[in-house]
Amino acid sequence: MSGVRIVIVGGVAAGASAATRARRLNEQAEIVVFEKGGAASFANCGMPYYVGHIIAERDKLLVMKPDAFGKEMRIDVRVRHEVKRIDREKKCVEVENLETGEKFEQPYDKLILATGARAIVPPIAGLDSTNVFQLRSLEDADAMRGYADEHKPKRAVIVGGGFIGLEAAEALRALDVEVHLVELLPQVMPQLDAEIAGMLIDPLNRHGVRLNLNDGLEGVDVTDGRVTAVTTKSGKRIETDMVLLSIGVRPNVKLAKEAGLELGPMGGIRVNAQMQTSDPDVLAAGDAVEVMHGVTGQTTLIPLAGPASRLGRLAGQFAATGNAPQAHRVLGTAVVKVFDRVVASTGLTEKAAAALRIEARSVMIRRPQHAGYYPGAKEMALKLVYEPGTRRMLGAQAFGEDGVDKRVDILATALYFGATIDDLCGLDLCYAPQFGAAKDPVHIAAQAACNQADGLVDMVQPAEVMRAPEAAGVLLDVRPAKMHAAGAIPGSMNIPLAQLRDRLDEVPDDRPVTVYCKVGQTSYVAARVLTGHGRKNVRSLNGGYSLYREVAENVKK
């Protein structure tokens, strides 16, 4: 393998990682990278912030420039070169120099495909206008930032409420652009459970993002080659000076498909544990590849930079040495900042588990990110999803200000190693009042899950109470009377926890009882009191009145 010729199609996370790993393990290898764009290795996750001048300098996005690949790594990086075809019989690729139009063949011993993903563009006339943008390449970011700097748009429409859409909304608001976000589904961040995604409504509203949920893009008005307005499926017309399409991505598998390589059930390139395709001399990594999900064990598409970089590294190692560790399973762990709030997730959501027919239950807790008595404590919400039969953790989501990423990283690590909710209760986490609590939010969520799994308390979701209030039976608010008077679930009675044991006869015993408090802790204690006195069919409201109010407000909006 010492003089192996390695050709890599595509740079960014997977391709650049493959190239540098191959060089570090094989000094004699000939390594050539062909990148269609103008930069072989750049931080595409930073592009929205570059557009909004939050990242001021373009060079900050460049992880390594093409000349540095050559000087430091002896890797031949050719930007603005597009691979047009793979000839597997001759073991070469056909390449076009996009600057000169020259076409040539490049032979390989090992070929690595890092072709990434392409943006979804709906078949709507006018979306090729000069003020319609995507954010998939550095050239896209240059075009969008250049347009914003030159034309000083007053209004923008973002189509799609996922990662890029929300980050771009923040970036454009930093430029004082009026932002309208159009999302076909009834929530932003469709990959999250509804109650967690609903928590993003407040920061978006507070920072002036105008939300159009449950309402997709229908058409655009074009004048002199520019979109001047968009029309939504509900008939709403929104005037605009620019449009960003962030609907989602599909794996870019054109080269692989035309070369006869096998695709997986999700439409991505099928690879084995060493990142080999159906042709053992052709490897693949990154957003074009189907990966093994760490919870389900099924192949799926997870277009994130972290997995792309890690699996690209393995592909490079195998190409350079003929050997590499087996690819690790991927959990889809992700985090996004939305103005002054953060949301993160790992593993399966409750709705994803339901779609896969995996039995799942969940708990939601709210706790400060560090000891409440220490100044600066900020509340976070943490949802833990688990399988009741095996008690294994399935996933987690969190929302808040500080410490969200820390908790989800802890839970992602535990999930990777197959932790149960009982394991989570025993995690030995560092504690000082500035950083956490003796019972960390992770512990509290795990303990709540164990209580539920052990049958100590049954829980009901706020949405269930809204959909069928009669099924909730008696709604019992165990908060202090002043809090109940300030706001409560319609039709609920109020007996503060401190008085409950002396007023048990006031709680009807001919119907189910749904107990709630502010966030769910006190209601758990109250449910145990009622159960301890022989009451049947007692449930605690998950997330308490705080979550109920948020869900109710988002339903109205």
Residues serving a catalytic function are: 45
Return the DSSP state at 391.
-
End-to-end CA distance of the chain: 61
Smallest CA-to-CA distance from 459 within 400, 385, 351 is with: 385
Secondary structure letter of residue 1 according to DSSP: -
Q: Write the burial class of residue 101 (CB in 10 Å: 0-12 exposed, 13-18 middle, 19+ buried).
A: exposed
CB under 8 A, 24+ apart: contacts of 351-359: 351/193, 351/194, 352/191, 352/395, 353/385, 353/387, 353/394, 353/395, 356/296, 356/298, 358/296, 358/387, 358/394, 359/387, 359/388, 359/389
Q: Cα–chain-centroid distance for residue 501? A: 45
Q: What tokens does 467 get?
A: 């959909």
Q: 490: how many CB neighbours lie within 10 A of its CB?
A: 7
Position 425, amino acid? C
Tell me if residue 42 falls in helix, strand or coil: strand
Integer angstrom CA distances of residue 245 from 142, 158, 248, 367: 15, 6, 8, 36
Angle at CA 441, nearest 5°, toward 553 and 461?
35
User: How far is Cα 445 from Cα 123, in angstroms, rounded to an integer?
Assistant: 45
Q: Which residue has the tokens 């920072």?
A: 207
Rounded CA separation 441/431 (Å): 12
> Closest by alpha carbon to 296, among 251, 323, 265, 317?
265
Token pair 């049954």 is at which residue? 458
Percentages helix, strand, coil for the chain (3-state, rounded to 5) are: 30, 25, 40
CB 237 within 8 A of CB 229: yes
**Alpha carbon separation from 422 to 301, 386, 520 (Å, rounded):** 30, 11, 20
| Burial (Cβ within 10 Å: 0-12, 13-18, ≥19) of residue 292 | middle
Pairing of strands 210-212, 237-239: unpaired
Q: Report whether 431 contacts 438 (CB < 8 A).
A: yes
CA–CA dist 456, 46 (Å, integer): 46
